[in-house]
Amino acid sequence: MRVAHKRRAVKAAKSVGASLGLAADEAVVLHRSNKLTLRLLPGDVVARVAPAAHGVAQFELDLAVSLAQAGCPVATPDRRVKPRVHSHDGFDITLWTHYEPVAPQEIPPDEYAQALARLHAGMREVAMPTPHFTDRVASAQQLVADRDRTPELVDADRELLADTLRDMRSAVTGRGAEQLLHGEPHPGNLLATKDGPVFIDFETCCRGPIEFDLAHAPDPVGDHYPGADAELLRQCRILVLAMITTWRWDRDDQLPDGHRLAQEWLTQIRAAL
């Protein structure tokens, strides 16, 4: 979310919180990307604020409720209010439980793998229409092909990303048993809480092989995940690396130091191939 919209988004979240009896005198920014995640105090509720045009808030909320009911280790909507999307000043706002972080925040690979396996087991019990992982790959391919949206991507790197996305998509598609996935279960989307690891951010959920999810986790996690296909996981890691590298070249990408990271990842892609 751009800085120009941040003030309006914060004001909208505080207004919604206050209207529901959740005191929102202060808003602490927890994360800012395509949406804004705030901790509203003293009511102590987490507000996720996205432009209404994104149209994913209801999907994320419904899925989180279903996953919690299935016993998955996931963040839940705040129980003090009815789970629903609140529309205010062009933003969709959802309210979530705040989990006090515990030390250490770095979750050991075996616990990480156990939490992800529990999430996947619960996801197999949830019937909900979701995109296929190849839809996300196709989105990255379109971005690579669009020079207007990726003006700083040089031709050699553009060709490398295009070839890698095409080849790894072909290599991975149709492999393994497909199921509902988190989509981006990287360390930034896994919280260490007093009740154990808890996954957040479900807007990227999709269908595909569990190795696609594992590819977002630190490498040692794959060694502890039961039944993972080592070769499929290797290919998924290359595919995911090409995807996240592509997104860093988007002219609208707001990740700090994104281009430096992208250059490092391009080197890793070449080494992996």
Domain range summary for the chain, segments of one domain joined by +: 3-97, 109-272
Looking at residue 256, its pLDDT comes to 80
Looking at residue 246, its pLDDT comes to 98
Q: Which position has the token pair 């700090």?
A: 256
Q: Please count the CA atoms within 13 angstroms of the CA of 230 that sit on its side-chain side.
A: 3
Q: Are 72 and 123 in contact, with CB atoms under 8 Å apart? A: yes
Residue 4 in this model has a pLDDT that exceeds 70? no
Sign of CA dihedral 249, 5, 190, 174: negative
Q: What is the CATH number that goes with domain 3-97?
A: 3.30.200.20
Tell me the C-alpha distance between 166 and 138, whole Å: 9
Q: What is the pLDDT of residues 15-53, one digit of tens each?
A: 999 999 999 999 999 988 778 999 999 999 999 999 998
CA-based diameter of the chain, in Å? Answer: 56
Q: Check whether the bond before 218 is cis (ω within 30° of 0).
A: no
Q: Are 102 and 123 in contact, with CB atoms under 8 Å apart? A: no
- For the 109-272 domain, the top CATH level (class) is alpha beta
Q: What is the pLDDT of residues 71-116, one digit of tens each?
A: 999 999 999 999 999 999 999 999 999 999 898 889 999 999 999 9
pTM of the entire structure?
0.93
Band of residue 65 on the pLDDT scale cut at 50, 70, 90 = very high
Residue 168 in this model has a pLDDT that exceeds 90? yes
What average pLDDT does the chain have?
94
Q: Are 191 and 75 in contact, with CB atoms under 8 Å apart? A: yes
Band of residue 1 on the pLDDT scale cut at 50, 70, 90 = low
